[in-house]
Structure 1
């Protein structure tokens, strides 16, 4: 799964990498579900960046509390689940990050050690996501979910799932509204190359989302 991540880059760095204007935001060392997170969507013929709540609330939901149960979506069953299959063809997004956390269960079966996983030399990347709009007479609520897949060789020793990470042409395919073929779309939702990933243990500070500072990403000494 993916239940925490980091986005410590500046607005300028994001705008340079994605060639898009971004809203003002505060670097986040411990992004948690229910928070508003930056995302990139296709708006008409253009891409645009904005905020979505992390935890998908389908348009047909009776209560937005369902979002707490939908922070992730399994890539293998996107085209089968009622909450996701419509969004796969119509409402896809990219979620910028520069790292994510996962917890490894220790040999005692009780303790969990948090790890931070990064790409390359700590470069920016994007998760594949889906988004939806939930509306009542009083409120419009835009939310998203992060897609997960089976682990690569690095991640399998830490957890049995990992987020789908997209780069380059795959990012363009994912945001191309003209592409609706589920086979094309699901074909790019693969485990990221383990040779370009690193993982290191971090403090249990990250267990509490109220802790949000550089100490969260510092390697354990």
Structure 2
């Protein structure tokens, strides 16, 4: 899963990578959490497609997709992730997967490794080569009882690449720049046409950096939460379990 991520790239870099018009400045965000507003990139309206304006635009959505058919937010759980393997058929996501695929600008994401003694170790997973990347996203508009329309969204996940599977079994879907148009083209590309983009990135794409428990609290939003720390050492019981598991390999 992906329950926290960051976008720390400068606005000019985000605009360049995603082909956006120059917009307002925005601050770096080091600890983005569900229910908060997140940036998503979508195709520009058709009237702008034939002009000199960029053919993509950025929108702000609530991170946590609410299906259009939900009567109220209590009808559904907080769906901030969507499994790519089932998004095309699951009622909560299938309409968005067919008609409203998006790109989510990110500088990396956080994940927690569960230790055998009940503790967790947080990791900051960022592209080894740096820069801003795109997660695959879905967007859905929901009308509240009062009549206001809210744009909501989720990040697609896939199985983790082998090199980070010991931290968590899932990771966000990464869409490469050369595939942006193919992914966003919901007019002619059905979900089956973009299945090949839902695979894990290659081993070595992300580097995992152990960070402190500061990231656990959404109120902590400073660069300090990405500072590298020494990973928590397994306690004796865990070391014994790991040794036993190694012996079973022979």
TM range, normalised to the smaller chain?
Answer: over 0.9
1:58 aligns with 2:67: yes
Superposed, 1:97-116 pairs within 5 Å as 97-108=106-117, 110-116=118-124
Residue of structure 2 in register with 1:121 after alignment = 129
Residue of structure 2 in register with 1:17 after alignment = 17
TM-score by length of 1: 0.94
Superposed, 1:1-221 pairs within 5 Å as 1-21=1-21, 22-43=23-44, 44=46, 45=49, 46-65=55-74, 69-108=78-117, 110-136=118-144, 137-221=146-230
Deviation at 1:107, TM superposition (A): 2.9
Contact 1:38 1:49 in 2 (8 A): yes
| Count of matched residue positions in the alignment of Structure 1 and Structure 2 | 220
Change (3 A) 1:72 1:178: same
Name the CA distance, whole Å, in 2 between partners of 1:14 and 1:68: 31
Q: Secondary structure at the match of 2:141?
A: strand
Residue of structure 1 in register with 2:247 after alignment = none
Name the CA distance, whole Å, in 2 between partners of 1:55 and 1:67: 10
Moved more, 163-172 or 18-27: 18-27
Name the CA distance, whole Å, in 2 between partners of 1:30 and 1:125: 16
Runs of 4 or more off by more than 4 Å in structure 1?
65-68
Contact 1:92 1:130 in 2 (8 A): yes
Contact 2:70 2:76 in 1 (8 A): no
Contact 2:127 2:207 in 1 (8 A): yes
Q: Secondary structure at the match of 1:154?
A: helix
Change (3 A) 1:66 1:93: farther
Structure having the higher Rg = 2
Deviation at 1:67, TM superposition (A): 6.5
Residue of structure 1 in register with 2:52 after alignment = none
Q: Secondary structure at the match of 1:94?
A: strand
TM-score by length of 2: 0.83
Deviation at 1:25, TM superposition (A): 2.3
Change (3 A) 1:190 1:66: farther
Q: Secondary structure at the match of 2:197?
A: coil
Name the CA distance, whole Å, in 1 between partners of 2:126 and 2:74: 31
Q: Secondary structure at the match of 1:145?
A: strand
Q: Secondary structure at the match of 2:90?
A: coil
Name the CA distance, whole Å, in 1 between partners of 2:34 and 2:13: 24
Structure 1 regions of 5+ residues with no counterpart?
Answer: none
Structure 2 regions of 5+ residues with no counterpart?
Answer: 50-54, 231-250
Deviation at 1:72, TM superposition (A): 0.4
CA RMSD, 1 decimal: 1.6
Change (3 A) 1:129 1:186: same
